[in-house]
């Protein structure tokens, strides 16, 4: 594997992505990880990421003790990127200066001049100039023994260094970002030609490795349970486990009464007909809606839903124990790699200032005291990789490309008391019309997430010469990469006109439709 030490750059995940696109498995660990832990991975290459710090600031992160000696002894090539290169220079006895203090650093697009070298051999890079993406305040002004400068910026700054004898390389710019024109080629050259790796990482291999790992972990007797949400991650995770251990996997799909129009039937049909998964559908809608009656505080609603879900899940596990005579020992979770990375923040991250915005509840949010051992077949994968495995396992495309849907369901899309009047019914109907219209206009895959929201207010309207006093439906559609930030989707007037008239004409007790034009931040994607 390629082990990437994370020093807090916003681009660290991109380095992982680029390696994987080059068919090489890579994983991110915090920059201060113990050498013993790194050695356990038997890294074939180590990459030091960029980071927001200056090596001169007190408490700035350092490389793990003994890392460079280990890499030299074991012939593990090292690539330092930006802050990573500066760490390499400083740790090995060179000088890093705050030379730009007066001028304010080098940021953005820059053209650099490369020299014939191991990093930039003339036969691969006949042109000596490259456009790269730079972002730094400090610079290396004296190199450690044995290192040569192999590229310079127009200001004369050293932007690439190498010591091929010991296999250490450094780039002051970011080869992982799209704007660096030859970035991927540079990484390919480093990983393939310089480090001698071959590309073997493919979803087929991942799948086959997971099958073996799950079989070895679960053995031939034990039983496994899994909560399916109707989303891609839990469905793909369960499908892999099912292929590995067959019907010793027991899945549960909870109808919490907060699902979309015909969601239960549609999802169960996909599970049964296409994925052949053994799924029990538990109808807990009455229990949930009784619990939510009269509650209108967003956080209170979220907490109540999360807690009740756990109780329902525990009941399922107990019942299963009676039925199959085995206490299930393992729990499948659809945890993805970004969740894993996010739960091990890089050194120097100030967690004190991160505020909780909402209590997210999903099926992956089951508490540890449920006392199961976890099986997480997707914990090394990004979402698009999960979709690729899903396609390999013949999960229908329409299912794989579904927009995300929150664990608390429509409860966070009905402001206030969910059980009030016919809010759920009205919202389901409006939401279905909205989604179908988006599909009809061919926009579904362009939009990251779209849904309708029920507002607990009434406005005056006129329908069929009659004065009406009916509900308002808000529509939301956003583009996003990971849901952390989002922008509203710019529908054209024709679409908005059509969807508004369809909703007002077809959904009883709605006489007004509004479109949400708020990005995140300041809004969140959901309304509660
Ligand atoms: P917000 O509203 O926080 O949503 O901007 C970001 C993304 O997360 C989804 N979301 C949730 N997903 N459990 C989930 O599984 C939750 O409690 C939850 N709350 C929000 C939301 O739909 C969007 O995709």
Q: pLDDT tens across 85-113, in order?
A: 999 999 999 999 986 555 667 778 899 99
Pick the atom of ligand 1 nearest to 480's CA.
Answer: 24
How close is the Cα of 317 to the center of ligand 1, in Å? 26
Across 268-289, b (16+ Cβ under 10 Å) vs e yields bebbeeebebbbebbebbebbb
Nearest to 178 by CA among 190, 165, 187, 167: 187
Q: Which residues are annotated as a binding site?
A: 229-235
How does residue 352 score in pLDDT terms, banded at 50, 70 and 90? very low
CB 253 within 8 A of CB 407: no
Domains located in the chain, CATH noted: 2-194 (3.40.50.880), 203-400 (3.40.50.620), 413-515 (3.30.300.10)
Counting ligand 1 atoms within 8 A of each CB, the residue from 300, 355, 413, 526 with the most, and so the one to mutate, is 526
Counting ligand 1 atoms within 8 A of each CB, the residue from 483, 486, 520, 523 with the most, and so the one to mutate, is 483
Crossing angle for the helix pair 493-506 and 423-440, to the nearest 10 degrees: 140
Residue 160 has pLDDT above 70, yes or no: yes
Pick the atom of ligand 1 nearest to 408's CA.
Answer: 17
Q: How far is residue 352's CA from residue 349's CA, in Å, rounded to a whole number? A: 9
CB 61 within 8 A of CB 32: yes
Residue 415 has pLDDT above 80, yes or no: yes
Pick the atom of ligand 1 nearest to 527's CA.
Answer: 2
φ, ψ of residue 525 to 5 degrees: the values are -70, -55
Q: Which residues line ligand 1 (CB under 6 A)?
A: 358, 360-362, 404, 406-408, 449, 483, 520, 524-526
CA atoms within 13 A on the CB side of 24: 26
pLDDT in tens, 444-495: 999 999 999 999 999 999 988 899 999 999 999 999 887 888 899 999 999 9
What's the confidence (pLDDT) of residue 105?
A: 74
**Catalytic positions:** 82, 174, 176
The residue whose CA has the least distance to atom 17 of ligand 1 is: 360
Strands of the sheet containing 106-114, edge to edge, are 26-30, 2-6, 45-48, 78-81, 168-171, 158-163, 148-152, 106-114, 129-136
- Percent of the chain exceeding pLDDT 70 equals 93
What's the confidence (pLDDT) of residue 378?
A: 95
ipTM of the assembly?
0.99
The residue whose CA has the least distance to atom 7 of ligand 1 is: 483
How close is the Cα of 315 to the center of ligand 1, in Å? 26
Residue in this structure with the two tokens 């945890």, named with its chain if needed: 335
pLDDT in tens, 6-46: 999 888 989 998 999 999 999 999 999 999 999 999 999 99
Mean pLDDT along residues 171-192 = 94
What's the confidence (pLDDT) of residue 349?
A: 52
The residue whose CA has the least distance to atom 20 of ligand 1 is: 406
Counting ligand 1 atoms within 8 A of each CB, the residue from 232, 357, 360 with the most, and so the one to mutate, is 360
The residue whose CA has the least distance to atom 21 of ligand 1 is: 406
Count of C-beta atoms within a 10 Å radius of residue 95: 12
Residue 79 has pLDDT above 70, yes or no: yes
How does residue 304 score in pLDDT terms, banded at 50, 70 and 90? very high
pLDDT in tens, 102-158: 566 777 889 999 999 999 998 888 888 999 998 888 999 999 999 999 999 998 999
Q: Which residues are annotated as a binding site for ATP?
A: 229-235
How close is the Cα of 296 to the center of ligand 1, in Å? 18
How close is the Cα of 479 to the center of ligand 1, in Å? 14
What's the confidence (pLDDT) of residue 19?
A: 96
What's the confidence (pLDDT) of residue 356?
A: 54
How close is the Cα of 406 to the center of ligand 1, in Å? 5
Pick the atom of ligand 1 nearest to 363's CA.
Answer: 15
What's the confidence (pLDDT) of residue 364?
A: 45
What's the confidence (pLDDT) of residue 363?
A: 47
Range with the lowest mean pLDDT among 257-271, 383-397, 411-425?
383-397
How close is the Cα of 112 to the center of ligand 1, in Å? 43
Range with the lowest mean pLDDT among 198-202, 270-274, 361-365?
361-365
Mean pLDDT along residues 214-227 = 97
Nearest to 282 by CA among 317, 324, 242: 317
Q: How far is residue 65's CA from residue 77's CA, in Å, rounded to a whole number? A: 17
Q: In the structure encoding, which two tokens stand for residue 248, read together?
A: 């010793």
Q: How far is residue 16's CA from residue 25's CA, in Å, rounded to a whole number? A: 8
Give the dihedral of Cα atoms 517, 523, 527, 528; nearest 10 deg.
Answer: 180
Burial zone of 397 (CB within 10 Å; 0-12 exposed, 13-18 middle, 19+ buried): exposed
């Amino acid at each position: 594997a390629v082990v990437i030490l994370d020093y807090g750059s916003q681009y660290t995940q991109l380095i992982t992505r680029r390696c994987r696109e080059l068919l090489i498995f890579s994983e991110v660990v915090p920059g201060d990880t113990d050498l013993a832990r790194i050695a356990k991975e038997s890294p074939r290459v180590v990459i030091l990421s960029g980071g927001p710090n200056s090596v001169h600031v007190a408490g700035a992160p350092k490389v793990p003790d003994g890392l460079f000696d280990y890499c030299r002894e074991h012939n593990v090539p090292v690539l330092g990127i930006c802050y990573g290169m500066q760490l390499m220079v400083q740790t090995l006895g060179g000088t890093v200066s705050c030379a730009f203090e007066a001028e304010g650093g080098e940021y953005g697009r820059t053209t650099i001049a490369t020299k014939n070298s191991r990093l930039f051999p003339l036969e691969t890079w006949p042109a000596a100039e490259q456009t790269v993406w730079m972002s730094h305040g400090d610079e290396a002004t004296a190199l450690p023994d044995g290192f040569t400068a192999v590229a310079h910026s127009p200001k004369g700054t050293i932007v690439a260094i190498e010591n091929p004898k010991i296999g250490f390389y450094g780039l002051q710019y970011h080869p992982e970002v799209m704007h660096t024109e030859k970035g991927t080629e540079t990484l390919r050259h480093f990983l393939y030609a310089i480090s001698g790796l071959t590309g073997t990482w493919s979803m087929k291999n991942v799948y086959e490795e997971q099958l073996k790992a799950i079989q070895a972990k679960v053995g031939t007797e034990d039983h496994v349970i899994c909560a399916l949400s109707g989303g891609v991650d839990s469905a793909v995770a369960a499908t892999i486990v099912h292929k590995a251990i067959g019907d010793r996997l027991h899945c549960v799909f909870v109808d919490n009464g907060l699902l979309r129009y015909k969601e239960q039937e549609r999802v169960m049909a996909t599970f049964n007909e296409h994925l052949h998964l053994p799924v029990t559908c538990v109808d807990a809608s009455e229990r949930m809606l009784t619990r939510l009656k009269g509650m209108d505080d967003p956080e209170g609603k979220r907490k109540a839903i999360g807690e009740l879900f756990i109780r329902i899940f525990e009941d399922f596990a107990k019942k299963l124990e009676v039925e199959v005579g085995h206490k299930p020992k393992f729990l499948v979770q659809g945890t993805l790699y970004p969740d894993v990375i996010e739960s091990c923040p890089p050194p120097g991250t100030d967690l004190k200032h991160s505020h909780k915005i909402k209590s997210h509840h999903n099926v992956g949010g089951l508490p540890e005291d449920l006392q199961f051992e976890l099986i997480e077949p997707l914990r090394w994968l990004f979402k698009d990789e999960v979709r690729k495995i899903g396609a390999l396992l013949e999960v229908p495309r329409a299912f794989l490309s579904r927009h995300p849907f929150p664990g608390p369901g429509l409860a966070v899309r009905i402001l206030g008391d969910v059980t009030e009047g016919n809010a759920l019914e009205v919202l389901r109907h409006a939401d279905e019309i909205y989604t179908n219209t988006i599909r009809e206009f061919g926009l579904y895959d362009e939009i990251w997430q779209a849904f309708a929201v029920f507002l607990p207010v009434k406005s005056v309207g006129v329908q069929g010469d009659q004065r009406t006093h009916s509900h308002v439906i808000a529509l939301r559609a956003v583009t996003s990469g990971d849901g952390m930030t989002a922008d509203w989707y710019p529908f054209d007037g024709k679409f908005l006109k059509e969807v508004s008239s369809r909703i007002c004409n077809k959904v009883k007790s709605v006489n007004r439709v509004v479109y949400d034009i708020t990005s995140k931040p300041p809004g969140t994607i959901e309304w509660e």
